[in-house]
Chains A and B, each alone.
Chain A
Amino acid sequence: MVNKIISINEIKKIIGAIPDPEIPVISINELGILREVEFDNDECLITITPTYTACPAMQFIEEEIKDRLGEIGINNVKVKLTYSPAWTTDWINENTKQKLKNYGIAAPLHSSCNKVFQKNVMMNCPHCNSTTTELISRFGSTACKALYKCNTCKEPFEYFKCH
């Protein structure tokens, strides 16, 4: 009967706060992975979407959701994966972008994410703000990032690709 007392908004708050396993300074809600919370009779149905098709964090996130809901007495939980609408970096707001930057990851630059990002885009270094940076590789340590280096402070950094 516990789930009758806890509102959907409260559930959203609790599981939305789960940190992304790859970038723990931002939550799955800020990243746009958490899509929907509903009740089907006594079953709590959570819909999540992967950033990239093969995002290896999805299973971890699913288990984390079940754990946190279990802690507040909701045990009848189903986590559903959806591909539509396709996840986009457009869902990341300015506040979250600042968090990424503070963490040392350059935030996605533009909002029209249907374009493949170009090499010659000016990218600010998240460490020293210099604009003399250079792309090392379109592909980085995770599917969502590219590798850059700063020619001023000489530090390498990652860029969260527009997608």
Chain B
Amino acid sequence: MNSKEILYNYCLRLGDDALILGQRLSELCSKGPILEEDLAQTNIALDMIGRAQALFNYASEINGGKNTADDIAYRRPEFQYRNHLLVEQPNEDFAHVIARQLYISAFEVLFYGSLENSKDSILASIASKTIKEIKYHLQHASDWTVRLGDGTPESTFKMQRAINNLWMYTGELFEMDSIDDQLLKSGIGVDKSPLIEKWRKQIQATLSEATLTMPEEMFMQSGGKQGVHTEHMGHLLSEMQYLQRAYPDAKW
């Protein structure tokens, strides 16, 4: 890969995380457990889709306009999506929605905080824009983790279950591969290895306050960044891409 292709792929990875989680959260529209949460989850979804749009517009520019941001979002087959497995995991119950958000937002605060110093001025400006929103998401997810964790026996049980179930998808967030390494060398990308300790501390603090237990060391599943997804991804895409597949080039 030349340097343009590497940067293009980096934008897809970041954009795909935002797009796929945005789609997952959109599924809660009109189905939130309470009206205020319906608003909250779809507000977060909107932030995510806005971030995806910014990153895909940049990717399209890098690619010389060969494909538009919409092409990138809606016209790729499953194995070309580069998101982490964590964000494609289904909503299951509200505890899973919150645990997923807690894990990813705690990671994103650190990641985008570091990307703000990128030598690529566009990535840096997107990072400084989006990080304000991410801090808000993390606050929301942390509040709910504590409220449910330190709640009734049933809410404690469900919150702990969700924390445990999604744990195996958190290792992938910190993996570095050749794309990460090359962009780190050129001062554009983020070094994720030092982030893991800070992330664990943050999660540990929230779980302690929520009277929950930090999951034990276990096998960590990865593959999303290489396009190898869990079985949930295809179902998500079939809904997300339906319109562009059934009516190609449909416009609002």
Contacts and interface: CB of A to CB of B under 8 A. Distances in A.
Interface of A: 50, 52-56, 82-87, 113-114, 116, 136-141, 143, 147, 163
B54 A138 contact: no
B127 to A, nearest CB: 9
Contacts of A147: 36, 39
Interface string B101-123: 00000000000000000000100
Given A52-B50, A54-B47, 17 more contacts: A52-B47, A53-B47, A53-B50, A54-B49, A56-B46, A83-B54, A83-B128, A84-B128, A84-B129, A86-B129, A113-B132, A137-B40, A138-B136, A139-B39, A139-B40, A141-B39, A147-B39
A163 B124 CA distance: 18
Interface in B39-71: 39-40, 43-44, 46-51, 53-54
Interface in B208-252: none
B46 to A, nearest CB: 5
A25 B39 CA distance: 24
Contact of A140 (B39, B125, B136): B39
Interface size class on chain B is: 20 to 34
B126 interface: yes
Contacts of A53: 47, 50-51, 53-54, 126, 129-130, 133
A84 B116 CA distance: 11
Contacts of A140: 39, 43
Nearest to A53: B50
* Residue among B37, B44, B129, B139 with the highest chain A CB neighbour number at 10 A: B129
Given A116-B136, A147-B36, A83 B126 contact: yes
A50 B37 CA distance: 24
A138 B39 CA distance: 9
Contacts of B192: none
A50 B39 CA distance: 20
B49 A138 contact: no
Nearest to B122: A83
6 tightest Cβ-Cβ pairs between the two chains A and B: A54-B50, A53-B50, A84-B125, A137-B36, A139-B40, A83-B129
Contact of A116 (B40, B54, B135): B135
B161 interface: no
Contacts of A86: 125, 128-129, 132
B140 A138 contact: yes
A62 to B, nearest CB: 14
B51 A54 contact: yes
A136 to B, nearest CB: 6
Contacts of B36: 136-137, 139, 147
B221 to A, nearest CB: 30
Contacts of B39: 137, 139-141, 147
Contacts of A87: 129
Interface in B127-151: 128-130, 132-133, 135-136, 139-140
A112 B225 CA distance: 37
Nearest to B35: A137
Contacts of A114: 132
A29 B139 CA distance: 30
Nearest to B140: A138
B32 to A, nearest CB: 11
Nearest to B42: A139
Contacts of B37: 137
A84 to B, nearest CB: 3
